[in-house]
Amino acid sequence: MIVAFSVAPSGGPSEQPDGSVHDAVAAAVRVVRESGLPNHTSSMFTEVEGEWDEVMAVVKAATEAVGAFGTRVSLVLKADIRPGYTGELEGKVARLETALDGGS
């Protein structure tokens, strides 16, 4: 499965004057990267790929890491659950690029 998630604190001193929460997000991304699971972070979401239990454990740990930065945590999560498939973090994008190049 692939999970795309975004997690951010609120209600705490971690917010910068400009509203940035990059330190808290960095704590979450550090958890994801240290998990050893395939992952990718963009400006809005972090994607992680693996089996259900391992991915959800990483999301939970990342959310808990962000919890240290505020009194509340916001979590947005989207999952693509496709049993029997691996390498889809890159595979889906590769198929998209092929289609954009005129292939099928």
What is the predicted pLDDT for the residue at 82?
Answer: 94
* pLDDT of 59 higher than 70: yes
The structure's pTM equals 0.88
What is the predicted pLDDT for the residue at 72?
Answer: 93
* pLDDT of 12 higher than 90: no
What is the predicted pLDDT for the residue at 103?
Answer: 75
Count how many domains the chain has. 1
pLDDT confidence band for 20 (50 / 70 / 90): confident
Provide mean pLDDT across the span 3-13: 87
C-alpha to C-alpha distance for 18 and 2, rounded to whole angstroms: 32
Instruction: Catalogue the long-range contacts made by 21-27 (C-beta closer than 8 Å, 24 or more residues apart).
Output: 21/69, 23/69, 24/65, 24/66, 24/68, 24/69, 24/70, 25/66, 27/62, 27/65, 27/66, 27/68, 27/69
* pLDDT of 15 higher than 60: no
Provide mean pLDDT across the span 67-73: 92
* pLDDT of 14 higher than 90: no
* Owning domain of residue 52: 2-100
Give the CATH number, domain containing residue 93.
3.30.70.930
The answer to whether residues 30 and 65 touch, using CB atoms and an 8 Å cutoff, is yes
